[in-house]
A and B are shown apart, each in its own frame.
Chain A
C-alpha cells in the first residue's frame, strides 16, 4: 500500500495504457465484453484517483506524490512527476470524464468498438501524464501525442465532415504546439547558457533570467501553443468543427479535459516562466478573453445546431477563465481553477444530453426538436439542471466559479469585468432559449412522439456530474481549500517578480534622470 501511494501518479498514468494489453486479445466481435471491460477498467482508474484526493495534504503548496528518476541525462530530462492543488482536480476530472464517456458510448459507438475503447484508454494515459509531469520535455511528449488518439476518435467515429474537422483540429493544434516547442527549447538553451547545465526540470527553469524584451517574444511563442488549445478568441475556429463532428465521448473529453490544457499550460509554464511578459501582456489577453466571452455568447444565440451551440458556449466560458487567470489576484485565480472544473462538469453534461438527443432522434438541428418535456420527465429535469449550471444559477457550481472570477478581477480591470458580466446574461439567453425550443413548445417532429426517457445506464452516466454540480454549488470548500494554497503561492511568486521588476524599472528610471 505504501508503495502504491508513493507511485500513485505512475500507476494512474500507466494503468490505462497497460489495460490495453488486457483488451487486445479479445475478439473484435465481442463488443459487449469490450465495452464492459473497458468501462470497468476506467472505473478502477477512477477509484485509484480517489486515493490522490484522500492522501492529498491540503495545507501546503508544495508538489505532492513526487516521483523523480533519470530519463535522458544528456538533455537533463527526468521522469519528474508531481501534483499540486490545481493538477489534482484536473486529474480527477480526467478520470471521471473518461469513465463517463466510455459509459456513454454504449449506444453511440457501433463500429470498431475495440479500436474505440483502446484509443480512449490511450488518451487517458496521455492526458493524466500531461497534468502530472513537472519536466518540460515529458510534458511536451504527453501533450503532443494526445492529439493522435483524439484525431482518430473524431475522424473514425465522427459525423458529417469528420475528416475535415479531425485534420483541422490536428494541424491547428500541432502548429501552435510546434511554435510553443521553439519557445520551450529557447528557454532550455538559455538556462544552459546561464548555468552550464541542461535541465528540463520546470522548478529550475523558473529561475532562468530572461530579459524582458525577449520574454515578450517567448511569451507570444508559448501563448500561441496554449491559446489555440483553450481556445482563445481569434484561435477558436477549429473548436466548433471538432466539437460538432466528434462523437459524444469525443466531445465530452474535448470540452471537459482537452480545453483545460491550455489554461493549465499558462498556469504551469507560460506565466511563471515569463512573469514580466505575462504582466505586460495581461491586459491584451484579458481583452481577448472578454471578446471571446461576448463573441461566443452572440454566436451561440444564433446557432441552429445544438452541438455547435454548446461548442461556442465553451468559447464564452473559457473567456471567463482567462479573465480570472490573468487578473492575477488570489480570488480570481481560485475562481478560474474552480471554473475549469465547473466547465468540464457542466459542458460535459450538456454534450452528454445532446448526444442522447442525437441517439434518439438522429438530428442535432434545434428546429427538429420540441415537446420532449412531456415524453421524458427525467431527461428534462436533469438536462435543466445542467443547463442552469452552465448558465451560472446560484446554488449550482457555475455560479461559484464565475462569481469568484468577477469579484477577483473587478479590482484590477473594472470596465472589462463589467463587460464580461454581461456574458452571464447572454448565457442565460442562448441556453434557456435553446432549452425552451428543444424541450417545450409543440411537437414538430414525429420522431419525438416515441421519445424514450433515460434508461438506468444513462442516468448513472450523468448522475456523478449532477451531484458534483450541487456539491460545488452548495459547499465548494473541499475543493477551494485544496486549490487555495497553490494559488496563494502562485500569486505571491508573481508578486515577488512584480516587485523586483518595478524596483528595476524604478532604478533604471532614476539612473536615467
Chain B
C-alpha cells in the first residue's frame, strides 16, 4: 500500500472521483428526488419523474465525456474504461426506459412517487458501481446495494399481497445468494491473499506458470480457490437467474410493479452479466477447474427449463420471466464461446436484449395502466385490429425474442452462437438452436392471440365482436413516455437487426478492454 499515492500522483483523489462521476450524478439526483418528498406541493405533479429523467440524461452525458479514458480509482477498487462506458450507457438506458414507463403506473397505483424514483436511481448507481468494481468487497457491497433497492421496489405496492409475497421471496433467496457470494469471496481471499481482481489475476497467473496449481504440490490453493469460485458463481448465477438458481424469478417478476419488472429484467441482469464477464475473463479463465463445463450445463438447463416453463404459463409477465431465464442461457452461450469474439457477442446480445425487453414490458404496461386487460394472455385476443401500432410493435419484440431475422435478437443470437461454434461447442449450439425453434412457439402464441382471435359464431364474418371485447383506452391517450420508449426500442431493435456494424464496433471496442489490465 505504501507506494499507492505515487502511482496516482498528487491528485489521486480527484482522479478517483472522476471515475465515479456518472454514479455520483445519479446519487445526487436521487437525493434531490428524495428531498422533494418533504414538500407536499413539490411531491405532487410529476416533478420527481422529470428530475430523475434529467439526472439520467446528465449521467449519460458524463459517461460520453469520459468514454475515452481509462481510470483506476480508490486504490484500484474501481476502474472505468471502455468496457464500463458501454455497460454504463446500456444500464442508463435501461433506467431511462424504466422511469419513462413508470409515470402513469405510479399514479394509477397510488404509490408515493419521489421515493420510488429515488430508489430506481439508487439502484441504477448501484448497478454502475457493480459493473466498475474491481475488488471483491466492492463487488459484494454494490451487489447488496443493488439488491436492497430491488427488494424494496418489488414490494412497493404495499396493499398488494402478491407484491409483498414476491418481495419476501426475493429477499430471502437473495440473502442466501449473497451469503454464498460472500463466502466464495472469503475462500478466494483465503487462497490468494488478495481482494483486487487484477491482483488475483496476477496471482493465479504466477501460480499457474509455476505449475503449483496443477502439480498437487499445494493442493490447498486449488481446492480453496475452486470452492471459492463455485460459491461465487452461485451468488452471481442467482442474479443472472440461471437455471437452478432461478426460482425467485417468476414470482418476483410477476408480483413486482411492471416497470420494476423491466428494471430487474434489464438492469439487474445486465449488471450481473457484466460483472460476471469481468470476473470470468480475469479469474475463471485460468482453468482452475473446467468452469466452461459447468457453464455449459447451466446454459443448457436454463434455456430448456425457461422455454418449457414459458410454454406452460398463461400470465404474460410470468411468460416473459421464464423467457428471460431462457435468454440468460443464450447470453451465457457467448461467454462459454469466449475469447474476444464471444465476449463482444455477449455484450451485443445484452444490449439488444435491453431494447426488446423494455419494449415488450412497455406494451404490457400500456394495457395494464388502463385496466383494460389483465395479464392473462387470453385477454390479448384481437388487440391487433384495435391498436395496430402497439400490437405490431409487440409482435416485433416477440419475434426479436424468438430470434427471427431483421430483428436484433437474430443478430445477437447469430453472434453468440457463431462464437460458440468457433470454440468448438457444437452441441451447445445445436441445443440452443432447437430451443429457439421450440421457444418460437410460445412467442407466436401471443401473436396468434393478438391477430387471429377465435371468431365467435355469432359474428363469424365481421370483426365487430372482436372489437366489442376491448374497450377504448380511457381518454384515448397513451402516456407519451411509454410511446417514446416503444418507438426508441422499435427503432433500435430494427436497426441492430439490419445494420449491426456500428453496435458491433462499440461492443468490440468495449470487449477489448477486458484484457487491458
Tell whether, in the assembled complex, residue B504 and residue A185 are in contact, meaning their CB atoms are under 8 Å apart. Answer: no
A499 to B418, CA, bound (A): 33
A178-B437 contact, Cβ under 8 Å, with A72-B504, A111-B463, A155-B448: yes
Cβ-based interface call for A189 (8 A)? yes
Tell whether, in the assembled complex, residue B444 and residue A185 are in contact, meaning their CB atoms are under 8 Å apart. Answer: no
A110 to B448, CA, bound (A): 20
Best-buried of B434, B448, B463, B504 by chain A (most CB within 10 Å)? B448
Given the complex, which residues of A lie within 8 Å of B451, measured CB to CB?
A: 152, 155-156
A221 to B437, CA, bound (A): 15
Proximity string of chain B (352-363) to chain A, C-beta cutoff 8 Å, 1 when within and 0 when not: 000000000000
Given the complex, which residues of A lie within 8 Å of B440, measured CB to CB?
A: 170-171, 174
CB distance from B457 to the nearest CB of A (A): 14
A179-B406 contact, Cβ under 8 Å, with A155-B451, A167-B444, A186-B426: no
Proximity string of chain B (401-416) to chain A, C-beta cutoff 8 Å, 1 when within and 0 when not: 0001110001000100
Tell me the residues in window 367-388 of chain B with beta carbons closer than 8 Å to chain A beta carbons.
385
Tell whether, in the assembled complex, residue B508 and residue A156 are in contact, meaning their CB atoms are under 8 Å apart. Answer: no
Given the complex, which residues of A lie within 8 Å of B462, measured CB to CB?
A: 111
A55 to B514, CA, bound (A): 53
Tell whether, in the assembled complex, residue A72 and residue B418 are in contact, meaning their CB atoms are under 8 Å apart. Answer: no
Tell whether, in the assembled complex, residue B441 and residue A145 are in contact, meaning their CB atoms are under 8 Å apart. Answer: no
Tell whether, in the assembled complex, residue A182 and residue B441 are in contact, meaning their CB atoms are under 8 Å apart. Answer: no
CB distance from A103 to the nearest CB of B (A): 23
Proximity string of chain A (141-167) to chain B, C-beta cutoff 8 Å, 1 when within and 0 when not: 111110110011001100000110011
Cβ-based interface call for B42 (8 A)? no
Tell me the residues in window 156-201 of chain A with beta carbons closer than 8 Å to chain B beta carbons.
156, 162-163, 166-167, 170-171, 174-175, 178-179, 181-182, 185-186, 188-189, 192
Given the complex, which residues of A lie within 8 Å of B500, measured CB to CB?
A: 72
Interface residues of B, dominant DSSP? helix
Chain B, interface residues (CB within 8 Å), range:
20 to 34
Partner of B418, one of A112, A141, A156, A188: A188
CB distance from B415 to the nearest CB of A (A): 8
CB distance from B407 to the nearest CB of A (A): 9
Best-buried of B399, B406, B499 by chain A (most CB within 10 Å)? B406
Partner of B433, one of A72, A112, A144, A178: A178
Residue ID in chain B nearest A138 by CB atoms: B405
Proximity string of chain A (400-418) to chain B, C-beta cutoff 8 Å, 1 when within and 0 when not: 0000000000000000000
Proximity string of chain A (424-436) to chain B, C-beta cutoff 8 Å, 1 when within and 0 when not: 0000000000000
CB distance from B431 to the nearest CB of A (A): 10
Tell whether, in the assembled complex, residue B404 and residue A148 are in contact, meaning their CB atoms are under 8 Å apart. Answer: yes
A74 to B440, CA, bound (A): 28
Proximity string of chain B (234-273) to chain A, C-beta cutoff 8 Å, 1 when within and 0 when not: 0000000000000000000000000000000000000000
Given the complex, which residues of B lie within 8 Å of A144, measured CB to CB?
A: 404-405, 410
Tell whether, in the assembled complex, residue A174 and residue B437 are in contact, meaning their CB atoms are under 8 Å apart. Answer: yes
Cβ-based interface call for B109 (8 A)? no
Residue ID in chain B nearest A178 by CB atoms: B433
Cβ-based interface call for B116 (8 A)? no
Partner of A175, one of B421, B429, B437, B445: B437
A99 to B265, CA, bound (A): 45
Tell whether, in the assembled complex, residue A182 and residue B404 are in contact, meaning their CB atoms are under 8 Å apart. Answer: no
Tell whether, in the assembled complex, residue B421 and residue A181 are in contact, meaning their CB atoms are under 8 Å apart. Answer: no
Partner of B405, one of A145, A156, A189: A145
Cβ-based interface call for B422 (8 A)? yes
Partner of A171, one of B399, B418, B437: B437
Given the complex, which residues of A lie within 8 Å of B422, measured CB to CB?
A: 189, 192
Given the complex, which residues of A lie within 8 Å of B505, measured CB to CB?
A: 74
Tell whether, in the assembled complex, residue B452 and residue A166 are in contact, meaning their CB atoms are under 8 Å apart. Answer: yes
Tell whether, in the assembled complex, residue A182 and residue B430 are in contact, meaning their CB atoms are under 8 Å apart. Answer: yes
Cβ-based interface call for B80 (8 A)? no
Given the complex, which residues of B lie within 8 Å of A63, measured CB to CB?
A: none
Cβ-based interface call for B436 (8 A)? yes
Cβ-based interface call for A358 (8 A)? no
CB distance from B344 to the nearest CB of A (A): 8
Cβ-based interface call for A140 (8 A)? yes
Cβ-based interface call for B417 (8 A)? yes
CB distance from A277 to the nearest CB of B (A): 17
Given the complex, which residues of A lie within 8 Å of B405, measured CB to CB?
A: 140-145
Tell whether, in the assembled complex, residue A72 and residue B452 are in contact, meaning their CB atoms are under 8 Å apart. Answer: no
A201 to B336, CA, bound (A): 27
A181-B433 contact, Cβ under 8 Å, with A145-B406, A189-B422: yes
Tell whether, in the assembled complex, residue A186 and residue B406 are in contact, meaning their CB atoms are under 8 Å apart. Answer: no
Chain A, interface residues (CB within 8 Å), range:
35 or more
CB distance from A223 to the nearest CB of B (A): 15
Tell whether, in the assembled complex, residue B418 and residue A73 are in contact, meaning their CB atoms are under 8 Å apart. Answer: no
Cβ-based interface call for A474 (8 A)? no
Given the complex, which residues of A lie within 8 Å of B426, measured CB to CB?
A: 182, 186
Cβ-based interface call for B501 (8 A)? yes
Cβ-based interface call for A71 (8 A)? yes
A112 to B441, CA, bound (A): 25
Partner of A185, one of B404, B414, B448, B461: B414
A240 to B404, CA, bound (A): 24
Best-buried of B385, B405, B414, B500 by chain A (most CB within 10 Å)? B405
Given the complex, which residues of A lie within 8 Å of B452, measured CB to CB?
A: 155-156, 162-163, 166
Given the complex, which residues of A lie within 8 Å of B499, measured CB to CB?
A: 71-72
Given the complex, which residues of A lie within 8 Å of B444, measured CB to CB?
A: 151, 167, 170-171
CB distance from A28 to the nearest CB of B (A): 9
Partner of B501, one of A72, A181, A186: A72
A186-B437 contact, Cβ under 8 Å, with A111-B462, A156-B452, A170-B444: no
Tell whether, in the assembled complex, residue B433 and residue A71 are in contact, meaning their CB atoms are under 8 Å apart. Answer: no
Tell whether, in the assembled complex, residue A179 and residue B433 are in contact, meaning their CB atoms are under 8 Å apart. Answer: yes
A163-B418 contact, Cβ under 8 Å, with A111-B462, A171-B441, A174-B440: no
Best-buried of A151, A155, A171, A181 by chain B (most CB within 10 Å)? A181
Tell whether, in the assembled complex, residue A112 and residue B385 are in contact, meaning their CB atoms are under 8 Å apart. Answer: yes
CB distance from B406 to the nearest CB of A (A): 5
CB distance from B310 to the nearest CB of A (A): 15
A73-B501 contact, Cβ under 8 Å, with A111-B463, A148-B404: yes
Partner of A189, one of B418, B448, B508: B418
Given the complex, which residues of B lie within 8 Å of A145, measured CB to CB?
A: 404-406
Given the complex, which residues of A lie within 8 Å of B417, measured CB to CB?
A: 181-182, 185
Given the complex, which residues of B lie within 8 Å of A73, measured CB to CB?
A: 501
Given the complex, which residues of B lie within 8 Å of A179, measured CB to CB?
A: 430, 433-434
CB distance from B221 to the nearest CB of A (A): 36
Given the complex, which residues of B lie within 8 Å of A142, measured CB to CB?
A: 405
A114 to B80, CA, bound (A): 52
Tell me the residues in window 14-36 of chain A with beta carbons closer than 8 Å to chain B beta carbons.
none
Given the complex, which residues of A lie within 8 Å of B448, measured CB to CB?
A: 155, 163, 166-167
A74-B504 contact, Cβ under 8 Å, with A163-B448, A170-B444, A174-B440: yes
Residue ID in chain B nearest A181 by CB atoms: B433
A186 to B420, CA, bound (A): 10
A12 to B267, CA, bound (A): 42
Given the complex, which residues of A lie within 8 Å of B421, measured CB to CB?
A: 182, 185-186, 189
A333 to B491, CA, bound (A): 44
Tell whether, in the assembled complex, residue A175 and residue B434 are in contact, meaning their CB atoms are under 8 Å apart. Answer: yes
A167 to B446, CA, bound (A): 11
Best-buried of A155, A170, A171 by chain B (most CB within 10 Å)? A170
Instruction: Give me 16 other A-B pairs in contact (C-beta within 8 A), A112-B463, A145-B406 excluded.
Output: A74-B504, A75-B418, A141-B410, A142-B405, A144-B405, A155-B448, A163-B448, A163-B452, A166-B448, A170-B440, A171-B441, A178-B434, A178-B436, A182-B417, A189-B418, A192-B422
- List the 8 closest A-B pairs by CB distance, nearest first: A175-B437, A141-B405, A178-B433, A155-B452, A74-B504, A145-B405, A144-B405, A185-B418
Q: What are 9 sample pairs from A and B whose C-beta atoms fall under 8 A apart?
A: A75-B414, A111-B461, A112-B463, A145-B406, A148-B399, A155-B452, A167-B441, A170-B440, A182-B430
